Structure 1
Amino acid sequence: MRASWVSPLIAMGFVVCWSSGFVGGRLATEADTPVLSLFAWRFLLASLLVAVWWRLIGGARLALRDVRREMAVGSLTMGGYLLGVILALEHGVSTGVAALITALQPLLAAALAGPWLGERLSARGWAGMAVAT
């Protein structure tokens, strides 16, 4: 496979995986699949895909301490977020509402960063936020 095809293929795979997550979560919770089992398998599959991608692009070899740090950050940020979504779906929140709430989180964080942290977003930052949301 040529290197010029790797990035677009990874991007398409990411979009398919990400966009199907809410629907897949709903289907799994309706089928009485254990939430933590679903969560663990999804996390494992994503980790394997990232490892393959890293090898394909010839990524630098990471030190064990860097791998541990990345695993901790990924588990807390993405893991906490995804577990919350899956638990919400299990408790009856619709997939559309779950997707809307998660899509608006960056906008909410940017809006609250000013009053709570004194961090102001520039006009360019707000424009980027509008495009992304």
Structure 2
Amino acid sequence: MNPRAQALLPVFFVLLWSTGFIGAKLGLPYAEPLTFLSVRYVLVIAVMLLVALASRAPWPTSWTMAGHIAANGFLLHCLYLGGVFVSIKHGLPAGVAALVVGMQPLLTAVGAGWFLGERVSTRQWLGLALGFVGVALVVGGRAQIDSVTTSSL
């Protein structure tokens, strides 16, 4: 893959990832959460299989490695996204779900230090802080708008 295309991959990832909550909000009135996710996964597997074959991506070299990949996929997609989609189906606003899920990098950084003894660099903390400021701006802006009453005008 050429360097220019490779540089665009993070942007492509963010665009795809961020549309998941929009898709959940739009699709869940018409399908059960796990059915919706199953159809989504079948489509994604088909597309990613073609991408992997076309790019000649390396395949797992052992059953252990394949098992780790499968366990990661199960935890991330079945439990994590299944829980998110079921929550949205039961009335949790998609925006709130996205904000809760958006806290994962912060929790991961804190957990990496506490549980694994890993050091989070200053640059990484700065990135997390900027993301947190963005979340605060979104939530804070809505809180101010929602709290305005006619008597306060």
**TM-score bin (small chain):** 0.7 to 0.9
- Correspondence list, 1:48-87, <5 A: 48-63=46-61, 65=63, 66-87=65-86
Cα offsets for 1:6-49 (capped at 9, x unmatched):
64676565444322211111122222x12111111112222222
Match of 1:129 in 2: 128
Match of 1:45 in 2: 43
Amino acid at match of 2:84: V
- Correspondence list, 1:4-43, <5 A: 4=2, 7=6, 14-31=13-30, 33-43=31-41
Amino acid at match of 2:106: L
Match of 1:104 in 2: 103
| % identical aligned pairs | 31
Amino acid at match of 2:100: I
Normalising by structure 2, what TM-score?
0.67
Match of 2:143 in 1: none
> Measured at CA, do residues 64 and 95 of structure 1 come closer, stay the same or move farther in structure 2, by a change above 3 Å?
same
Distance 1:110 1:61 in 2: 29
Distance 2:73 2:88 in 1: 21
Give unpaired runs (5+ residues) of structure 1.
Answer: none
The higher-RCO structure (CA 8 Å, 6+ apart) is 1
Deviation at 1:91, TM superposition (A): 0.9
Deviation at 1:78, TM superposition (A): 3.4
**Over alpha carbons, which structure has the higher Rg?**
2
Give unpaired runs (5+ residues) of structure 2.
Answer: 133-153
Tell me, yes or no, if the aligned pair for 1:6 and 1:56 is still in contact at 8 Å. Answer: no
Count of aligned pairs: 129
